[in-house]
Amino acid sequence: MGTLTGKTALVTGGSRGIGRAIAERLGRDGARVAVHYGTNEEAAGETVAAIESAGGSAFAIGVELGTPGDAERLWAEFDRQADGVDILVNNAGIAAAHPFEEIEEKEYDRLFAVNVKAPFFLTRLGADRLRDGGRVVNISSGLARAATMPHLLAYSMTKGALDVLTRDLSKLLGPRGITVNSVAPGIIDTDINASWLRANDEAWQGAAAISALGRVGTPADVADVVAFLASDDGRWVTGHWLDATGGSLT
């Protein structure tokens, strides 16, 4: 019996990177996991297969976020395969393609649509499906608290907004025993970061040096933190911004 046996989890952006690691960890802990993806159905299928091969249960949901009615469509797909949810992980997000000096209004709006509006309405519409004693975990960023990469200003702003959602929502859902927390990764070795992180040894070593622990983070490092908050061990932690940057902000 895993710590999450009998629970159902929804992980947005669960097909790759940090989201996949979270989905797989929650699956190992016994939860039935809804693996959401935007466009990469193949990657979502691989994640579901990995969870099932490890003895867990999972299913995929394909809905592109940042489009009108995205939250309604996602929950409609979810409802076809599950009855209620215990753990909602708002992980899906996009990064800024252009720095502050170059970003256009269209890209700015897209960032906020995916990174802020989507989790807001996913949580609002999901509140009635979320069982008492449930968990909401929002994946933030160390950039919400430190100007380590000021050229990514618009992206950092979205994560700051997500943290406000965490803070205030913890008060609204607290009477139902539902905890709401933010987990803030630092530099993580994912395919999204690979183009610059693995460009050369200097880039890798420079990223590792930012952490107090002297290494680049892995998706599993973040997933294990989320698993703690999703478990009964995290029952007394809510409204909290949890630094999962490996000491990059110290």
8-190+219-244 fold: Rossmann fold (3.40.50)
What residues pair up with 243 in beta bridges, in sequence order? Answer: 184
Residue 208 tokens read as: 């590792």
Give residue 197's pLDDT band: very low, low, confident or very high (50, 70, 90). confident
**For the chain, domain boundaries:** 8-190+219-244
Q: How far is it, in rounded angstroms, from Cα 134 to Cα 124?
A: 14
| Phi/psi at 110 (5° precision) | -65, -40
Q: How far is it, in rounded angstroms, from Cα 91 to Cα 138?
A: 6
Residues 6+ apart with CB under 8 A from 189: 197, 216, 217, 218, 219
Q: How many helices, marked H, and strands, marked E, lie in the chain?
A: 9, 7
How many angstroms separate the Cα of 208 from the Cα of each of 186, 219, 234?
10, 15, 29
pLDDT tens-digit map of 139-185: 999 999 998 889 999 999 999 999 999 999 999 999 999 999 999 99
Residue 73 tokens read as: 């469509």
CA-angle at 192, arms to 36 and 182, nearest 5°:
60
Give residue 250's pLDDT band: very low, low, confident or very high (50, 70, 90). confident
The three-class DSSP label of residue 149 is coil
Mean pLDDT of the 108-133 span: 98
Residue 49 tokens read as: 């297969």
Q: What is the DSSP letter of 8?
A: E
Q: Report the predicted TM-score, pTM, of the whole model to 2 decimal places.
A: 0.96
pLDDT tens-digit map of 61-86: 999 999 999 999 999 999 999 999 99
Residue 44 tokens read as: 């979502």
What is the overall mean pLDDT for the chain? Answer: 96
Give residue 193's pLDDT band: very low, low, confident or very high (50, 70, 90). confident
| Phi/psi at 36 (5° precision) | -85, 145
Neighbours of 40 (CB within 10 A): 14
Q: How far is it, in rounded angstroms, from Cα 186 to Cα 188?
A: 6
pLDDT tens-digit map of 80-113: 999 999 999 999 999 998 999 999 999 999 999 9
**What pLDDT was estimated at residue 1?**
67
Weakest-pLDDT range from 18-22, 165-169, 173-177, 186-190: 186-190
Which entry of 155, 211, 229, 241 is annotated as an active-site residue? 155
pLDDT tens-digit map of 140-153: 999 999 988 899 99
**What pLDDT was estimated at residue 198?**
85
- Is position 108 annotated as part of the catalytic site? no
Give residue 199's pLDDT band: very low, low, confident or very high (50, 70, 90). confident
Q: How far is it, in rounded angstroms, from Cα 13 to Cα 36?
A: 5
Q: How far is it, in rounded angstroms, from Cα 192 to Cα 16?
A: 9
